A = this chain, B = another copy of it.
């Protein structure tokens, strides 16, 4: 069970934005360079965040993106939902309509499969974990990481960017 890089990159992008205290927009190019991620791909990802009103943009020179809310008010369930489309442990769990309907292809219509109970619990566990994590927490976490890194050997920090 795995999230795609959309979630990974999107969350990283938001963390980068969250680290900026001021409300000056940040260009995607800056973020791409900071994180070592492909710019063109990030563009498509940030579009998802904008569509979900998690991010605001200003076009033109000196433009870029900023958070639409304070990091404390951004929970990860919203973020991952915007990026991945759904939080479903099984393909038949993807909710087409607005209610969380279970559509399992291998069972009679309207019937639940034997594994419904299990996947519901897993889904609940994931959503709960996502919801209790805010962007502010991740920003603070990454800041702590930075301190730890700069405390250690600065020179021997391998520039191991696997960016081909």
Contact = CB atoms under 8 A, between A and B. Distances in A.
A88 interface: yes
B11 A108 contact: no
Interface string A107-122: 0111111111111111
- Which 10 pairs from chain A and chain B are nearest by CB? A125-B125, A125-B129, A114-B142, A121-B129, A15-B114, A117-B141, A122-B129, A11-B115, A1-B3, A100-B162
A114 B12 contact: yes
A113 to B, nearest CB: 7
A74 interface: no
Interface residues of A, number: 66
Contacts of A106: 8, 35-37, 162
Interface in A96-152: 99-100, 102, 105-106, 108-122, 124-130, 132-133, 137-138, 141-142, 145, 149
Interface stretch (A39-47, A53-61, A62-70, A153-161): A153-161
Number of this chain's copies in the complex? 2
B100 A160 contact: yes
A21 to B, nearest CB: 17
A141 B159 CA distance: 39
Interface of A: 1-3, 5, 7-8, 11-12, 15, 35-37, 76, 80, 84, 87-91, 99-100, 102, 105-106, 108-122, 124-130, 132-133, 137-138, 141-142, 145, 149, 154-164
Nearest to A135: B118
A61 to B, nearest CB: 28
